[in-house]
Structure 1
Amino acid sequence: MLHAVIMAGGSGTRFWPASRKLVPKQLLPLAGESTMIQATSERIESLIPSDRQMIVTNEILVDAIAKQLPNMPRENLVGEPAKRDTAPCIGLAAALVAAKDPEGLMVVMPSDHVIGTNDQFCDAISAAETLVNEDPTRIVTFGIQPTYPAESFGYIQRGSELDSSHQLAPSFDVERFREKPDRQTATQYLESGDFYWNSGIFLWKASTILDALKQNQPAMFQHIQTIAQAIGTPEYEQVLKDEFCAIEGTSIDYAVMENYPNVCVIEAPFKWDDVGSWQSLGRLHPSDPSGNTVVGDHLGIDTRDTIVYSNPDHTVVTIGVKDLIIVQTEGATLVAPKSEEERVREAVKALQSSGRDHLL
C-alpha cells in the first residue's frame, strides 16, 4: 500500500514574526483559508486517506497539529525529540511504515509547499508509484521546471528519458544532484534546459530507503534500527529519545540521493511554490492596482509594491512608501525593505541573543 509522510518539523524563521516556535509557518494560513499543513494533508487525501498519512514533526508541535488535523489518528503524529534534518526524519518514518506494512511504499513531502491542483498532484504521485512498482529498487523524485535562475533551490540534472508512454509527464534518469548555485551557475542551468529545481518530494519503498541508509549512512541506520526494534514495546518512547538524539543530522539529499544509483525524476505536471519567504505572498495572493499584496486590513495612501500581513482586527495604514514588507502580529511588528528580507533570520538571532525568547 501507499503511505504518505509529511515532514513538518521546520521552524520557518524567515516568516517571523508570524511564525514562532509554537506556531511555525506550516501551521499558518499563508496561502488561503487552510493552514499549510492542512492543505498538504487535504492534497493527498483522495489517494491516501488520513489513516495512512503520517506527520513527523517537532515533539512540541504534536498537540497543535492534532488540533488542526482532528481526523488524523493520534498515533500517526510522530514527535521528534530533537531536530536532526531530513535524513533521520525519513529514516524514522520508513521504520514506522515498514513495521505496519513491510512492503509499503511511501511518498514523502514537506508540509509547507503550495501545489495546484490536488488532482494533478495525485495523478503525478500515481505515476511515480507505477515507476516504483516496475522496479522496487527505484527512487523517484519530482523536478520543477525552472522559470528564473534561482539561487535558493537545489537542482536536479536529468539524464536519459525513460520509456514513459504510460506516464503523466516525461520521466528521466537522474544524472546528478546539485547544491544551491551562485547566480552565474543558476543561469547556466536555466539556459541548458537539462536542470530542474529539486522539489524535495520523493516516492520509494520503505525498505528501499532503509537499505539505502544502511549502505550510505551505517551509523545513522544503526540508531534507526534500534528504534525500529523497540516499536510496540513499553520502552519505545525512551529508546526513540535516546537513539534519535544520538544521530548526527544531515539532509536526505546528502545522505542518500547524491550517491544512490537508481534515481529517476518526473517532470512535475503541477504548479509548485515552496513559500520560502514573505515575498512569496506576492505570488500566492492577488495584488491591488498599485502592486500591493495584502493579507489583513490595510489602508494605503501613495503606497506601492508593498506586502502587508496583519491580524484581521488590526488596520495597517501606510503613507508614501514602496517596496516594503510589513508584518503585524501580537507582540511584534516587522518593517523591512523587500531587498533586505533575507535578514529576517538575522533579526531572529538578535532577539534570541538579547533575551527576547518570548518573541520567538
Structure 2
Amino acid sequence: MSATTEEPVAVILAGGQGSRLWPISRDRRPKQFQPVVGGRPLLTGTIERLSEIVDPARIHVSTRARFADAARETLGPVPPENLILEEDPAGPATAFALSIATLARRYGNAPALIAPSDHLITEDEAFNQASRDMLTQLDDSPESMVVLGAKPTGFDGSLGYIHTQGEGGPVEVITSFYEKPDPATIDELGDQGSLYWNTACYGVRVAKACDAYRAAMPLVFDTIEQFAADRPDVNGYRGAAIGGHELYPLLAAGMECLVVPRHLGWNDIGTWKRLQHVLVEQGLHSIGPAVQLECDDMLVASMDGRPIVTLGTSGLVVVTHDDAVYVLDKQGAMGAGPLEHLRALLASEREDLL
C-alpha cells in the first residue's frame, strides 16, 4: 500500500454490457467504449472530466477482462496497470466492492470519487464543481457516503431515485433509495420530501467503505480483499458475487448517506428512448456522418465513419459497424422482446455479429 494522502483517487465503473443499446453497443465493445455522442468514447469523456479533479495516475477503471483491450484503447492518460478486472459479470455491487478494496490497498483511506463510464454530461463545469463539493463534504463528514443527485426534469421509471426529507441546503440526508419506481410511488414520495435522480456518482473514504462492506458481508468481502492484495490488472476476479444495489451493504452497516443535489446536464443513455431524447435535445438526428432526405422518425448511427444515406424512410434504426450493417424497425429496437429474439437468432447462427 502506498502512503495514505489526502489527494483524491477515482474509479470508473466500465463493466456493463449495454445490451439495451445493441447494435450500437456490441458484445466485445459495449457503449462505454463507443463514440455514442460527442465524437469520443463515453469512457474517454469520463476520464477527461475526472482528470480535472483527480491526477490521472490515481484514476482506475473497473471492467470485465473480455473488455480489457477496448478499455486500454480509451484510457488516454490513465496507466494501463490501473485496470481492475473481473472475469465474469457479477453486478455493480461486486464491481464496487472490488474497486474500493483495490483503492484501499493502494491509497489507504483516501477520498474517492466513483463514477459510471457511460453517462452523458453536457455541463462539465457544473458536474466538476459538484464533484469537488462531494470531496469537500468528505472532509467535513469522513464517515459518510456522498451521492450526486440530479434534480429531475420529468418522470423516468427506468432510473433510480433518491428520497430525502426535503430539508434543503447544499447537502441533504438520504432517507431511502428507489430503483425504477412507478408514478404513484413518485407522487407519494414527492409529497413527503424531495426526490433526485441517482446519478450513481459517489464520494467515499475508501477504507471506511471497506469497513462497511466487511461488516455487512465479511466472508465475501474477505475473498475480494484477498484478490485485491494481488495484481488485479493482471488477472480478472473470479469469486463470490454480491447481489443487489452497490449501496445496500453500506446502508446495512449503518453508514450515513448524503446527497449533493444539483441542476446539471446529466443523462443515463442506457436505452434507445433516452438516446433519441439526447440527440433531439442537441438538434441531431444521427451519430456520425449521415444524410437523410424525406425521412421521418429515423435514428441513424455510423459507428465506423462510413456515410449513411437514407431516402424516403421512416421509423427505422440504421447502424453500421466495420463488419456489418444493421437495419431495425424502431419500435422493435425499443422493445425488449423483438430485440432479444433477434439477438438469440444471431447467437445461434452469427455470434460474431453480436
Q: Which residue, 15, 27, 41 being the options, matches 1:21? A: 27
List gaps (5 residues or longer) in structure 1: 165-169
Retained in 2: the 8 A contact 1:55–1:76?
yes
Retained in 2: the 8 A contact 1:132–1:140?
yes
Cα distance change of structure 1 residues 320 and 359 upon mapping to structure 2, 3 Å threshold: closer
Match of 2:220 in 1: 220
Kindly state the Cα deviation for residue 76 of structure 1 after the two structures are TM-superposed.
0.4
Kindly state the Cα deviation for residue 357 of structure 1 after the two structures are TM-superposed.
1.4
1:304 aligns with 2:310: no
Matches within 5 A, 1:77-116: 77-116=83-122
1:325 aligns with 2:331: no
Cα distance change of structure 1 residues 348 and 171 upon mapping to structure 2, 3 Å threshold: farther
**Using the alignment, how far apart are the partners of 1:292 and 1:43 within structure 2?**
23
**For 1:39-86, what per-residue CA distance to the aligned partner results, in whole angstroms no more than 9, with x for missing partners?**
000011111121010000011222222122242212101221221111
Cα distance change of structure 1 residues 219 and 348 upon mapping to structure 2, 3 Å threshold: farther
**For 1:146-203, what per-residue CA distance to the aligned partner results, in whole angstroms no more than 9, with x for missing partners?**
12221101111012537x5xxxxx2100011112112433454567661111111110
1:337 aligns with 2:330: yes
Cα distance change of structure 1 residues 121 and 287 upon mapping to structure 2, 3 Å threshold: closer
Cα distance change of structure 1 residues 141 and 283 upon mapping to structure 2, 3 Å threshold: same
Cα distance change of structure 1 residues 179 and 260 upon mapping to structure 2, 3 Å threshold: farther
Match of 2:3 in 1: none
Cα distance change of structure 1 residues 2 and 156 upon mapping to structure 2, 3 Å threshold: same
**Using the alignment, how far apart are the partners of 1:160 and 1:236 within structure 2?**
42
The aligned amino acid for 1:263 is: C
Q: Which residue, 64, 78, 96 being the options, matches 1:58? A: 64
User: SS where residue 303 of structure 1 aligns?
Assistant: coil
1:313 aligns with 2:284: no
Matches within 5 A, 1:146-165: 146-159=152-165, 161=167, 164=169
Kindly state the Cα deviation for residue 263 of structure 1 after the two structures are TM-superposed.
0.6
**Using the alignment, how far apart are the partners of 1:298 and 1:236 within structure 2?**
39
Match of 2:139 in 1: 133
**Using the alignment, how far apart are the partners of 2:183 and 2:327 within structure 1?**
28
Match of 1:231 in 2: 230
Aligned length in residues: 345
The aligned amino acid for 1:108 is: I
TM-score of the superposition, structure 1-length normalised?
Answer: 0.86
**For 1:77-118, what per-residue CA distance to the aligned partner results, in whole angstroms no more than 9, with x for missing partners?**
122122111122111111221122112111111000111322
Kindly state the Cα deviation for residue 353 of structure 1 after the two structures are TM-superposed.
5.0
TM-score of the superposition, structure 2-length normalised?
Answer: 0.87
1:280 aligns with 2:274: yes
The aligned amino acid for 2:230 is: I
Retained in 2: the 8 A contact 1:332–1:359?
no
**Using the alignment, how far apart are the partners of 1:258 and 1:276 within structure 2?**
28
Kindly state the Cα deviation for residue 260 of structure 1 after the two structures are TM-superposed.
3.8
Cα distance change of structure 1 residues 102 and 17 upon mapping to structure 2, 3 Å threshold: same
Kindly state the Cα deviation for residue 214 of structure 1 after the two structures are TM-superposed.
1.4
Match of 1:358 in 2: 352
**Using the alignment, how far apart are the partners of 2:61 and 2:76 within structure 1?**
13
**Using the alignment, how far apart are the partners of 1:191 and 1:29 within structure 2?**
40
**Using the alignment, how far apart are the partners of 2:241 and 2:42 within structure 1?**
28
The aligned amino acid for 1:88 is: T
Cα distance change of structure 1 residues 23 and 74 upon mapping to structure 2, 3 Å threshold: same
Kindly state the Cα deviation for residue 21 of structure 1 after the two structures are TM-superposed.
1.7
Which range moves more in the overlay, 49-58 or 124-133? 124-133
**Using the alignment, how far apart are the partners of 2:284 and 2:117 within structure 1?**
27
**Using the alignment, how far apart are the partners of 2:225 and 2:301 within structure 1?**
45
Matches within 5 A, 1:185-196: 185-189=185-189, 194-196=194-196
Kindly state the Cα deviation for residue 313 of structure 1 after the two structures are TM-superposed.
2.1
The aligned amino acid for 1:231 is: D
1:120 aligns with 2:126: yes
Match of 2:44 in 1: 38
1:10 aligns with 2:16: yes
Retained in 2: the 8 A contact 1:279–1:338?
no
List gaps (5 residues or longer) in structure 2: 1-6
The aligned amino acid for 2:295 is: T
Retained in 1: the 8 A contact 2:103–2:206?
yes
User: SS where residue 108 of structure 1 aligns?
Assistant: strand
1:246 aligns with 2:240: yes
Kindly state the Cα deviation for residue 320 of structure 1 after the two structures are TM-superposed.
4.7
